[in-house]
């Protein structure tokens, strides 16, 4: 089995086999193998690539893996790679790297590339500026289609994309965007201003990159113009970078939703310690919060000693409440992320989720009533059933509204994770359960 | 507040205000408002749009909302919209619609559009064929760049995209892809075969759409050629559709991860009953599974009556185990979804996650030992601490491996939801807890 994989061939020291494998596979598959390998093997494999494919493969790696590979390169090999990178990719690599490494990269660059990279690094982390391509072909508004096409031919080789062309005035201010398609299909003498779309949205370089990427997705754009505070065109955010931004944001949300910190690299290349570290903080916070459930149960210990059978339904009750809360929280976080819900929808969300919780609670209460009567007795069953109705209603309401509240006060809504909601619902659910038990069982 | 929104203006019957609002907002924002509105309002708003923007807005809606709007249109307005849609969008709309509605749409089409749509509908749901654009400009391999550009000029108006051009032989078989950029920048006399990329991946129309979309993302492609079983070019999967496929798949995964069925439409336009229905099945299954925790506790009821204080730590213990399991399951599901983990990694994943669980368990055990000693007594604290180590280790291992096992046997790994893992860990965790309690407390 290992003989078919790159690292299997590496284990066997089969250089000819390795080179054959590398020649037969597309860059993104090679990049995937590199990302899964440990740093030493990754560098060994990378060195076997010819110069052209080396750069293509390198561009497909995420910044963590890029750093691993670069750390193992010296001299010209190092210089060729860093100089060949797109300025935005380079800025992203440096943004995450330690200062010493960043210095080495910057020293290996030509003055022009260094200036371009430094400019992008001037924008805050997570902003559009870090992801935009500064190398675009801007078209003056007074040109004809034929002249504009000449400009594309003269300067297109250098640009990252020529499919969307920003149209500018004499002061480089944004007038609209021009699609290369329209330019190619148009009559040569038509003025650019007639072909340009002046309604395309644009963003500032300091704007949030995720919001810009989602906007591109909603508006089906291949590239989004990026401007400065005086509306001068700085570059374009291209769809491949936008897709990456969205995937990274989704991966982060997914991790947060399970109460873990997002991993910076590839799952398979992360060490046990890295994985444990990404999950430890939340688990610690949650176990401390869960201590409150011990306090609640201590408070009701006398009731519990009187009727030990009440304890039998604790996991079922808190589990069900937790599940209902987790469902609601996850739905709300996702709806916020994709823009279906806004913070001002809070009252509507609370009202509908409380009814959803009620409907679900009533349905589950029927099951609990049956199970409880069958396994224990009717009064206990009634206690459990009533508790489930209230707990579900409560769980769905706070599960769905907490992410909106978090967003409104400026916290990432995804930190309202399923485990966090579950833990909160556990403690409050127990209070509801024992209060109902005391009433129903007349304790 | 409502005065600023489209539905606020609608409430006030302010037609002039509505038309001003529609004129000032880009299509994707108008589409978002329509998607949030109830069907009747959505149709009212849609009718106020002029013909050109109506189609653009319509294309931005998801199939559910499109159906709502179309159901409210008659005669020519209906025909214009369905005829103006891209064939792949139309196929997607019809794929989800009831038969009667689909018939009405097909009847409103020109014979050519009807044939094209029917062809796409012949592919299975979720396959590339349902999402591809059949309207592309294919270039014969023997042409020069100048001649190829003439073909683009002659036939480009009709095509959905001209940035990626499939290159074909005389039998329409796939030879490679040509970027419009290279065509425009190239010397006119160069042959197309020299400019084409013959290594671009391609997919079959019957392949899974999500896998194809992720491939595009990894390989940074704007369009992916789609072929039939004899390698003849059928169309292109474009990046905007790929992004939609990925977003829908991620939304589905997120919902599944919280043990809910994915909603087919917009969160805010879903009714309370629809929301409840999407969550009910899993909650029912899980409460039935949770009944097992009642059985476990009944089995240990004598132990519980002897030492009621054991009950105090049940929520903390099962909660912590559930959290550790949920973290591991979520990480594994996401890593599978983005292609970082494959099913054959199962042994490696199991081995590393068991160690991650051990590390986390040891850390949490220290907290539990402190809390337990402080609130109750040392022997109970030792019981809880030991249980936490074992439960965390077990939870992380099965949480991470279950999604891989699911995938191997052909089940969507995302159904291994955090609540499912939690429920399984609850029951097994209780068994571990009481067995340790009997040993430590010598009961």
Answer yes or no: do A78 and A193 share one domain: no
Q: Of B319, B322, B398, give the one whose Cα is nearest residue B353.
A: B398
Contacts with A55 (C-beta within 8 Å, 6 or more apart), sequence order:
A80, A81, A84, A85
Instruction: Please list, residue by residue across A113-130, b when 16 or more beta carbons sit within 10 angstroms of its beta carbon and e when fewer do.
Output: bbebbebbbebeebbbbb
Does residue A107 carry a pLDDT above 70? yes
- CATH number for the domain including A175? 3.10.580.10
pLDDT digits (tens, 9 = 90+) for B376-399: 999 999 999 999 999 999 999 999
> Average pLDDT of B112-134?
90
Residues 50-69 of B with CB under 8 A from A: 59-60
Average pLDDT of A145-149?
95
Most distant CA pair in chain B, distance: 93
Residue A262 has pLDDT above 90, yes or no: no
Maximum mean pLDDT: which of A254-268, A279-293, B10-24: A279-293
Question: Of A9-23, B80-94, B289-303, where does the model show the most confidence?
Answer: B289-303
Residue A71 tokens, joined: 């750390």
Total number of domains in chain B: 3
Measured in angstroms, the CA of A123 and the nearest CA of chain B are apart by 25
Closest chain A residue by Cα to residue B161: A181
Say if residue B228 is in the same domain as residue B294: no
Residue that is last in its domain, among A66, A87, A122: A122
Residue A416 host element (H or E): none
The pLDDT of residue B359? 96
Residues 218-277 of B with CB under 8 A from A: 218-220, 222, 239-240, 243-244, 246-247, 250-251, 253-255, 257-260, 263, 266-268, 272-273, 275-276
Which tokens hold the place of B69? 């709007």
pLDDT at A4: 60
Q: How many other C-beta atoms can be found within 10 angstroms of the C-beta atom of residue A4?
A: 8
- In this predicted structure, what is the pLDDT of residue A376? 92
Q: Which CATH number is A326's domain given?
A: 1.10.357.20
A293 neighbourhood in chain B, CB within 8 Å: 315-316, 319
Same domain for A175 and A218? yes
- CATH number of A117's domain: 1.25.60.10
Within this chain, do residues A244 and A299 fall inside the same structural domain, yes or no? Answer: no
In a domain? residue A127: no
- Give the residue from A268, A275, A251, A248 showing the smallest Cα distance to A34: A268
Same domain for B211 and B282, yes or no, is: no
- pLDDT surpasses 60 at B3: no
Q: Kindly report the average pLDDT of chain B as a whole number.
A: 90
Task: Enter the DSSP assignment of A197.
Answer: B
Interface contact flag, A26 B291, Cβ < 8 Å = no
Percent pLDDT > 90 in chain A is: 59
pLDDT over 70 at B308, yes or no: yes
ipTM of the complex: 0.82
Position A416 pLDDT exceeds 60:
yes
- Separation CA B290–CA A375 (nearest Å): 13
Domain extent, residue B347, equals 272-440
The answer to whether residue A149 sits within a structural domain is yes
Residue A229 in any domain: the answer is yes
Where is the domain boundary, A190, A214, A248? Answer: A248
For residue B425, being part of any structural domain is answered with: yes
The residues in A 162-191 lying below 8 A from B, measured between CB atoms, are: 162-163, 180-181, 184-185
CA distance B116 to A422: 50
* Cβ pair A241, A62 in contact under 8 A: no
The dihedral over CA atoms of B377, B379, B382, B386, expressed in degrees to the nearest 10, equals: -140
Phi and psi at B173, nearest 5°, equal -80, 145
On whether residue B133 sits in a domain, the answer given is no
DSSP β-bridge partners for residue B236 = B133, B225
Q: Is residue B38 predicted with pLDDT exceeding 90?
A: no
pLDDT of residue A2: 40
- Which contacts (CB < 8 Å, 24+ apart) does range A142-147 have? A142/A191, A142/A192, A142/A193, A143/A191, A143/A192, A144/A188, A144/A189, A144/A190, A144/A191, A144/A192, A145/A183, A145/A186, A145/A187, A145/A188, A145/A189, A145/A190, A145/A191, A145/A192, A145/A195, A146/A188, A146/A189
Residue B159 CA to residue A401 CA, distance in Å, equals 45
Q: What is the rounded average pLDDT of the residues A50-70?
A: 86
- Let me know whether A94 and A185 are in one domain: no
Are A111 and A147 in the same domain?
Answer: no
Question: Which of A122, A149, A164 is where one domain is finished?
Answer: A122
Would you say residue A1 has pLDDT above 50?
Answer: no
A281 contact B CB<8A: no
Q: Which residues of A touch B338 (CB under 8 A)?
A: 247, 251
pLDDT at B5 over 90: no
| pLDDT band of A269, cuts 50, 70, 90 | confident
Is the pLDDT at B254 greater than 60? The verdict is: yes
Per-residue pLDDT at B4: 60
| In a shared domain, residues A237 and A305 | no
The mean per-residue pLDDT over the stretch A77-99 comes to 86
The chain-wide mean pLDDT, for chain A, equals 90
Q: Residues B145-175: pLDDT tens digits?
A: 999 999 999 999 889 899 999 999 999 999 9
Measured between CA atoms, how close is A170 to chain B, in angstroms?
26
- Is B338 in the same domain as B403? yes
Instruction: Give the pLDDT of residue A311.
Output: 95
Q: Distance, in angstroms, between A121 CA and closest chain B CA?
A: 23
Q: How many CB atoms lie within 10 A of CB B219?
A: 18
Q: Tell me, yes or no, whether A131 lies in a domain.
A: no
Q: Are residues A195 and A72 in the same domain?
A: no
How far is residue A389 from each of residues A318, A366, B257, B286, measured CA to CA in Å?
12, 10, 23, 16
CA dist A234 and A226 (Å) reads: 6
B113 and B144 in a common domain: no
Q: Which of B421, B217, B245, B218 is nearest to B333 (CA)?
A: B421
The reply to whether A258 falls in a domain is: no
The answer to whether residues B198 and B337 belong to one domain is no
Residues 190-209 of chain B with CB under 8 A from chain A are: 199, 201
- Does B258 map to a domain? no
């Amino acid at each position: 089995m290992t003989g078919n994989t790159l690292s299997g061939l590496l284990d066997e020291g089969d250089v000819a086999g390795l080179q054959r494998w590398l020649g037969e596979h597309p860059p993104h598959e090679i990049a995937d193998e590199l990302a899964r390998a440990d740093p030493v093997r990754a560098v060994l494999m990378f060195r076997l690539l010819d110069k052209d494919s080396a750069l293509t493969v390198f561009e497909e790696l995420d910044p963590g893996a890029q750093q691993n590979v670069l750390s193992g390169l010296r001299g010209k090999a190092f210089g060729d790679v860093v100089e060949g990178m797109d300025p935005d990719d380079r800025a992203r690599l440096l943004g995450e790297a330690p200062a010493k490494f960043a210095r080495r990269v910057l020293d290996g660059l030509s003055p022009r590339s260094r200036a371009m990279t430094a400019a992008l690094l001037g924008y805050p982390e997570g902003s559009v500026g870090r992801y935009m391509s500064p190398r675009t072909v801007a078209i003056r508004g007074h040109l004809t289609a034929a002249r504009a096409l000449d400009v594309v031919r003269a300067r297109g080789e250098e640009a990252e994309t020529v499919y969307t062309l920003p149209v500018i005035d004499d002061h480089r201010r944004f007038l609209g965007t021009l699609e290369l398609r329209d330019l190619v299909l148009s009559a040569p003498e038509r003025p650019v201003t007639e072909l340009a779309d002046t309604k395309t949205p644009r963003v500032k370089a300091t704007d949030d990159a995720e919001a810009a990427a989602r906007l591109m997705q909603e508006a089906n754009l291949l590239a989004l113009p990026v401007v400065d505070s005086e509306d001068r065109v700085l570059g374009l955010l291209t769809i491949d970078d936008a897709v990456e931004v969205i995937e990274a944001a989704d991966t982060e949300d997914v991790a947060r939703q399970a109460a873990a910190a997002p991993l910076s690299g590839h799952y398979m290349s992360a060490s046990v310690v890295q994985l444990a570290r990404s999950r430890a903080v939340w688990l610690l916070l949650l176990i401390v919060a869960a201590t409150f459930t011990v306090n609640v149960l201590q408070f009701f210990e006398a009731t519990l000693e009187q009727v030990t059978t009440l304890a039998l339904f604790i996991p079922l009750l808190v589990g069900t409440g937790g599940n209902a809360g987790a469902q609601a929280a996850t739905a709300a976080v996702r709806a916020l992320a994709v823009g279906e819900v806004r913070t001002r929808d809070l009252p509507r969300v609370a009202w509908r989720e409380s009814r959803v919780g009620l409907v679900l609670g009533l349905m589950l209460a029927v099951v609990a009533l049956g199970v409880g009567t069958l396994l224990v007795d009717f009064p206990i069953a009634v206690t459990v059933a009533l508790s489930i109705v209230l707990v579900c209603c409560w769980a769905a309401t706070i599960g769905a509204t907490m992410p909106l509240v978090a967003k409104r006060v400026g916290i990432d809504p995804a930190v309202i994770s399923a485990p966090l909601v579950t833990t909160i619902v556990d403690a409050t659910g127990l209070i509801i359960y024992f209060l109902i038990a005391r009433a129903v069982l007349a304790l």
